[in-house]
Chains A and B, each alone.
Chain A
Amino acid sequence: MAAIQVVRSEWTKIRSVASTVWTLSLAVVVTIALGMLISALSKNEFDKMSRSDQLSFDPTFISFAGMSLGQLAMIVFGVLVVSNEYSTGMIRTSLAAVPQRATFLVSKIAVATGLSLVVGLATSFVAFFLGQAMLGSHKASIGDTGVLRAVIGGGLYMTLIAMFSMGVAAMLRSPMLSLGILMPFFFLVSNILGNVSATKKIGRYLPDQAGSKIMQVVTPVDDSTPYGPWGGLGIMTLWVVAALAGGYVLLKKRDA
């Protein structure tokens, strides 16, 4: 069976459910709106900041502040794309039609990833430009060193978050279980581990902590992170590969 047929079928699947539109629009709106709000607030607060905070002021990173919430919608998207098959029982129909499970999983993830990438990049660019507009005189320009990398990186970050969720959902199958683990993890646990000094050294190797480094243009003054922006994205990619490989191995040997 040609993989192209499976890809077309997965595209029909993904565009014909309402949850796709809802989760992706939520990701776009939340990321952009929250980014604009925090950018506007930061502009007003700038003069009251300490000297070191002013030195490490990163207008690009600030315009992506909405991503901490927006990524949750991307997680829901990634989880639902995969676990919908299981929660509805559609997986048996799908696998009866595509007995080659590798083709099935790769096509499904490719389609969802492609869609996330388009949405993620668009969101990242819009969030950047609108955020900079809010920052007024403190804004960064897209031509500045590292800024374009950070903006494209923001899109990649959102895509990788969605992919990681797909891998986890492929392993866990249940949407409730997957969301119940991923949402608190990315919203709370990762932040706590990354901000408490005792666990900081471990926390910064978590997928979101490492990956978000790509969106930084100005390095904080006392930063001791042992990897750069692309190194961080690489660490995140390793997490994604691990999650997807786990999902594939389980799908391959498990009874549907």
Chain B
Amino acid sequence: MIEAVGLTKRYGDKTAVYNLSFQVRPGAVTGFLGPNGSGKSTTMRMILGLDNPTTGQVTIGGYPYRKLPNAPRQVGALLDAKAVHGGRHARNHLLCLAQLSGIPARRVDEVLGVVGLQDVAKKRSKGFSLGMGQRLGIAAALLGDPQVLLFDEPVNGLDPEGILWVRNLMKALAAEGRTVFVSSHLMSEMALTADHLIVIGRGQLLADMSIKDFISANSADFARVRTPDTEPQLREKLSSALTEAGGHVLPEQDGGLRVTGLPLPRISDIAHDTDVRLWELSPHQASLEEAYMRMTQGAVDYRSTIDQKAGLQQPMPPGAQPPMPVPGQGQPGWYAPPPPQQGGQPFAPPVPQGQPVQPMQPPASPYGAPAGPGAGAPNPYAAQAPAAPPAAPAAPASDLTKPEDAR
């Protein structure tokens, strides 16, 4: 059990963490999320007694870390995979950590086997790849068979086999009743691993809830409906019929419709009654990534801007289209719809001209994860007829009615 109460850390006049209170319970994997620079690593360092909180305190099992009896047998941590002396070989690195807490050398060979580094045990760690460094760091965390484990970005640099292994390892550790606290930026990975989430932004707590609650609180499930692209009037017709029936309809960039507030069979019935053919009617569950993006978009410190390539622009070959901006660059307008209860404005006014509309080039998911509904996945059924572009591109999020430069 890790417990933070009113944790605050200031570096000079910069507040890295402000009044953070949370509990990390045993028996579950707790994900620790937040944008770059939001204070995750600072919080982890304070948990481990490396940094002193300006005010507030954080305890493990009731003790501040520095007072914890035989700390390395109770807490294992991976903070930074590269924080090893490159000239020391892997086994000696673990051996000197093991000796600190009276762990026999036998255990070093055990954990080397567990993380799959037994063949490079006598190699200097400066030749290690990032993934091998992560494995070594995880081995160090496991050394003392601790009840509390902290991992800062453990899957960074791991191969797919390693990612799967870490995921199963975390779950197994939690299933044994241990406390597992993991930070990561890989949302798809978190969605698979974590049971509970603590989300911070700009050093403050944004959410502390189960992953299921987090997704439903921050993003609504919806149905995607697609009418024949060849007949745009059917789309208008269905939109008004669905709205009349109490649903919220949101046009998507690629010509589909997002419908919330109506169950799928009801949408089908309405379409039938209004004599509109459907090319697609599919349920979509919001992903953790979308829910996270919605929650943290106001707390992102480092946001990419559009690359103007001043002076680097090649003359365009005749007939070429200007490139489409990468989603998320300078315009956070592609997130999942807001949950209806949050006073979202589903009928966002059409974005004025000037925003490029290219129906057949759906924006890719920024993390290369399987494109979620918010990212406008390419629709295989629409591939044959790209003729009619949608009347107006969608601005799904409620607060996007402001002009872009206002944020």
Do A and B actually bind?
yes
A interface residues, Cβ below 8 angstroms from B? 1-2, 5-6, 8-10, 12-13, 16-19, 84, 88-93, 95-100, 253, 255-256
Query: Which residues in B have some Cβ–Cβ distance to A below 8 Å?
Result: 45, 48-52, 65-68, 70-72, 75, 77, 79-80, 82-89, 92-93, 95-102, 140
Known contacts A8-B99, A12-B99; A96/B88 CB under 8 A: no
B92 neighbours in A (Cβ, 8 Å) = 12-13, 16
The interface residues of chain B lying within 8 Å CB-to-CB of A12 are 92, 95-96, 99
Shortest distance between the CB of B10 and any CB in chain A (Å): 11
CB pair B50–A13 under 8 Å, yes or no, is: no
Given contacts A84-B85, A90-B85, A255-B50, whether A100 and B66 have CB atoms under 8 Å apart is yes
B68 touching A5 by the CB < 8 A rule? no
User: Smallest CB-CB separation from A13: which chain B residue?
Assistant: B96
Q: Which residues of B contact A16 (CB under 8 A)?
A: 88-89, 92-93, 95-96
Which A-B residue pairs are the 7 nearest by beta carbons?
A: A89-B83, A16-B92, A9-B99, A255-B51, A12-B96, A99-B66, A256-B50
Contacts of B85 in A (CB 8 A): 13, 17, 84, 88, 90
Q: Which B-chain residue is minimally distant from A17 (CB atoms)?
A: B87
CA gap between A13 and B95 in the complex, in Å: 9
Closest to B52 in A: A255
Q: Are B79 and A96 in contact (CB under 8 A)?
A: yes
Tell me whether B140 and A256 are in contact (CB under 8 A): no
11 chain-A/chain-B pairs, Cβ below 8 angstroms: A9-B98, A12-B96, A17-B85, A19-B87, A88-B84, A88-B85, A92-B50, A96-B71, A97-B71, A99-B65, A256-B51
CB neighbours of B70 from chain A (8 A) = 1
Minimum CB–CB distance from A108 to chain B (whole Å) comes to: 11
Residues of A contacting B95 with CB < 8 Å? 12, 16
Partner of A17 from the list B49, B72, B77, B88 (CB cut-off 8 Å) is B88
Known: A1-B70, A84-B85. A95 touches B49 (CB 8 A): yes
**Shortest distance in angstroms between A86's beta carbon and chain B's nearest beta carbon?**
10
Pairwise interchain contact B45-A10, C-beta atoms closer than 8 A: no
CA distance A195 to B98 in the complex (A): 51
Contact of A9 with B97 at beta-carbon distance under 8 Å, contacts A92-B45, A99-B65 already known: yes
Across the interface, which residues of B come within 8 angstroms of A256, CB to CB? 45, 50-51
CB < 8 Å neighbour of A93 from B52, B65, B71, B97? B97
Shortest Cβ distance from residue A200 to the other chain B in the assembled complex, whole angstroms:
42
* Chain B positions within 8 Å of A92 at CB level: 45, 48, 50, 79-80, 83
Residues of A within 8 A of B140 (CB): 93
Chain B residues closer than 8 Å to A18, beta-carbon distance: 87
Closest-CB distance, B16 to chain A (whole angstroms): 11
The residue from B67, B84, B97 contacting A97, defined by CB atoms under 8 A apart: B97
CB-based contact B100/A9 at 8 Å: yes
**What chain A residues lie within 8 Å of B50 (beta carbons)?**
92, 95-96, 255-256
In Å, the complex CA distance between A19 and B97 comes to 20
Chain B min CB distance to A183 (Å): 21
| A253 and chain B: residue at smallest CB distance | B52
- The listed residue with most A CB atoms (<10 A of its CB), out of B72, B88, B93, B102, is B88
Which chain A residue shows the least CB distance to B89? A16
Cβ of B396 to closest chain A Cβ, rounded Å: 42
Give 7 new A-B contacts, CB below 8 A, not counting A16-B92, A253-B52.
Answer: A5-B102, A6-B100, A9-B99, A17-B87, A17-B88, A90-B85, A91-B83
Residues in B neighbouring A96, C-beta threshold 8 A: 48-50, 71-72, 75, 77, 79
With a CB–CB cut-off of 8 A, which chain A residues contact B45?
A: 92, 255-256
Q: Which residues of B contact A89 (CB under 8 A)?
A: 80, 82-84
Closest-by-CB residue of B relative to A12 is: B96
